[in-house]
Amino acid sequence: MASNNQKSTVGRLKSRPQFLAVREGEKRKGPLFLLEVLDRGEPESPPRCGFTVTKKHGNAVERNRMRRRLKEAVRLSAGFAMEPGHDYVIVARRDLLNAHFERLVGGLRERIENKQKIHGRNRPASGKNDGK
């Protein structure tokens, strides 16, 4: 039942321009992955999600396994925390391959729900803008 509901609520990012657009948004770092979030300004549209695993993280078998684990984590629980009108790109890190699945799901859900993380272009430089 959850998978039918999930398919209707979370879309997929498929083209390179869509992924590149999300890079300009907010970045939420974690030990297993980097979550990039972009508010498209369309609150009535469903959220969209994309997955990135670079070649430096292993061979094709390992990269596909990481991607499948991320997709399943989003499908089972994290997708319900995604806000309408937002795009999400999950960039895997090597530790994702051997992490416990519960840790992956918990970390993903935490990053999606927590908006107080590191921001993209609007991030102030620490210590360099003290007004002096």
Asked if 55 contacts 91 with a C-beta cutoff of 8 angstroms, the reply is no
Query: What pLDDT score was predicted for residue 90?
Result: 95
User: Could you give the strand order of the β-sheet that contains 11-12, starting from the edge strand earlier in sequence?
Assistant: 11-12, 48-52, 86-92, 33-39, 26-29
Neighbouring-strand partners of residue 35: 28, 90
Q: How confident is the model at residue 1 (pLDDT cuts 50, 70, 90)?
A: very low
Q: What percent of the chain has pLDDT over 70?
A: 80
> What single-letter DSSP state applies at residue 48?
E
Rounded to 5 degrees, φ, ψ at 86 are: -115, 150
Asked if 117 contacts 46 with a C-beta cutoff of 8 angstroms, the reply is no
Q: Which pLDDT tens digit goes with each residue over 59-88?
A: 999 999 999 999 999 988 777 888 899 999
CA distances from 37 to 3, 17, 44, 84, 98 (A): 23, 15, 17, 12, 25
Query: What pLDDT score was predicted for residue 5?
Result: 43
* Alpha-helical regions (H) of 12-96: 16-22, 60-76
Query: What pLDDT score was predicted for residue 80?
Result: 83
User: pTM for the complete prediction?
Assistant: 0.78
